[in-house]
Amino acid sequence: MSNIVKSNAVDTVERAAEALARGGLIGMPTETVYGLAGSAANEQALSKIFDVKGRPIGHPLIVHLSSLEELDRYALSIPQAAVALIGACWPGPLTVLLQRSRHVSDLITGNRSTVAIRIPANECARSIIAMHGHAVAAPSANRFGHVSPTTAQHVFDDLGEHVDLIVDDGPSTIGVESTIIDFTPPVPQLLRPGGFALEDLEELMDIHVAAPDGESRASGMLESHYAPQGKVLLVNSLSEAKSVLSAHPEARLISHWESLPLYAASLYAQMRQADHDGVPLIVAITPVPSGLGRAICDRLKKASHP
Ligand code: TXA
Ligand code: MG
């Protein structure tokens, strides 16, 4: 029997909340990518997340809330700029890094003094978290280093029966992970470009977001991550893509590059399909790195890293 359940079945939210209460893990839909969610209040569930993903302990997890009222429980001394941005962007594909409170498990933060938090726009996710009554910790529901899942079937393909329940709410609408902004330095820093365009954030906040400095703080900052099995070759134009394709008939071009939202929404599914079909060479046209194009470029660059 499959562990995939439709989000609109009558008892799905209850079943998902029960699984979380038992210390189980669920495949949770979000607008960015599917998450592997466990109760933030249950140490065993949290350590199971690392086992099931094959993720090294120490790589911190994002805390997902259902409403703004819970923020003070997990974060301390929230800067005014963060309050303003959160007010404008949540629920949505924005994660903020803040000073952690003592209520956050060390497994979530990887023993850091900071915690990453977001409220997802996906309504089913928020209903599940609200019914559970605690925050959930949720990394993307893929095997570590693999391409993130944007459908319930992708979650099943990677994690199968190791997840108690996978809630199918259709394909993730945005398709790339949330934008992560670190609000702990004096000038906020962009740790990961994502579903919320940096230009829009800067306009909303009326301040500048800097590039990250110092050592890598997010695994999304590693050079290779989000990688399919096939080799990924980046080109700058369709004509360049065409000449590669005519020299390599075994290659496949990632489509929908003409529209940034469609490109982002389908990118991971196309990479997974190419792997499934045994395509050895994936050709992708890099978009202009602004707006959603910044996140797409970032993921393509990581996928193409040898
Ligand atoms: O869109 C998303 O953010 C998805 C959905 C499921 O919400 N989640 C996601 O989680 O992408 P994950 O674990 O795959 O990526 C979270 C990133 C990692 O690169 C992690 O290192 C970083 O957030 N992160 C989390 N907590 C952090 C912290 N305290 N300091 C620095 N980086 C942190
Ligand atoms: Mg991930």
Give residue-wise pLDDT tens across range 250-274: 999 999 999 999 999 999 999 999 9
Ligand 1 atom nearest to CA at 109: 29
Ligand 1 centre from 40 Cα, in Å?
14
Q: Which CATH superfamily is domain 4-205 in?
A: DHBP synthase (3.90.870.10)
Question: How do 94-100 and 114-118 pair as beta strands?
Answer: antiparallel
66 neighbors 74 (Cβ within 8 angstroms): no
**What are the φ/ψ torsions at residue 30 (nearest 5 degrees)?**
-140, 170
Intra-chain end-to-end CA distance of the chain, in Å: 38
Look up tokens 């108690």; give the residue. Answer: 164
- How does the average pLDDT of the chain come out, rounded? 94
Rounded to whole angstroms, how far apart are CA atoms 77 and 93? 22
Decide: 97 in ligand 1 pocket, CB within 6 A.
yes
Rounded to whole angstroms, how far apart are CA atoms 123 and 273? 28
Task: Mean pLDDT check: name the lowest of 33-42, 116-125, 207-216.
Answer: 207-216
**What are the φ/ψ torsions at residue 97 (nearest 5 degrees)?**
-100, 125
* Cis bond before residue 91 (omega within 30° of 0): yes
Ligand 1 atom nearest to CA at 142: 14
Percent of the chain with pLDDT over 70: 96
Rounded to whole angstroms, how far apart are CA atoms 225 and 53? 14
**Average of per-residue pLDDT across 45-69:** 96
2 pLDDT tier (thresholds 50, 70, 90): confident
pLDDT tens-digit map of 208-252: 888 887 665 665 555 566 788 999 999 999 999 999 999 999 999
Question: How do 165-168 and 26-28 pair as beta strands?
Answer: parallel
pTM value? 0.96
**What are the φ/ψ torsions at residue 262 (nearest 5 degrees)?**
-70, -35
Pair of tokens at residue 62:
């994002």
147 neighbors 273 (Cβ within 8 angstroms): no
Which pLDDT does position 1 carry in this prediction?
59
Pair of tokens at residue 134:
């605690």
Which pLDDT does position 205 carry in this prediction?
79
Taking the CA of 95 as reference, the closest ligand is 1
Which pLDDT does position 274 carry in this prediction?
97
Fold for 231-304, please state it: Rossmann fold (3.40.50)
Residues 6+ apart with CB under 8 A from 213: 185, 189
Ligand 1 atom nearest to CA at 37: 6
With the C-alpha atoms ordered 144, 150, 153, 154, is the resulting torsion angle positive or negative? Answer: negative
90-121 b/e with 16+ CB inside 10 Å = b? bbbbbbbbbbbeeebbebbbeebebbbbbbbb
Which pLDDT does position 218 carry in this prediction?
61
Which pLDDT does position 225 carry in this prediction?
66
Ligand 1 centre from 239 Cα, in Å?
36
Task: Mean pLDDT check: name the lowest of 80-94, 191-205, 251-265.
Answer: 191-205
pLDDT tens-digit map of 137-194: 999 999 998 899 999 999 999 999 999 999 999 999 999 999 999 999 999 999 999 9
Taking the CA of 49 as reference, the closest ligand is 1
**Average of per-residue pLDDT across 36-59:** 96
Taking the CA of 122 as reference, the closest ligand is 1
**Average of per-residue pLDDT across 95-110:** 97
**How is residue 7 annotated by DSSP?**
T
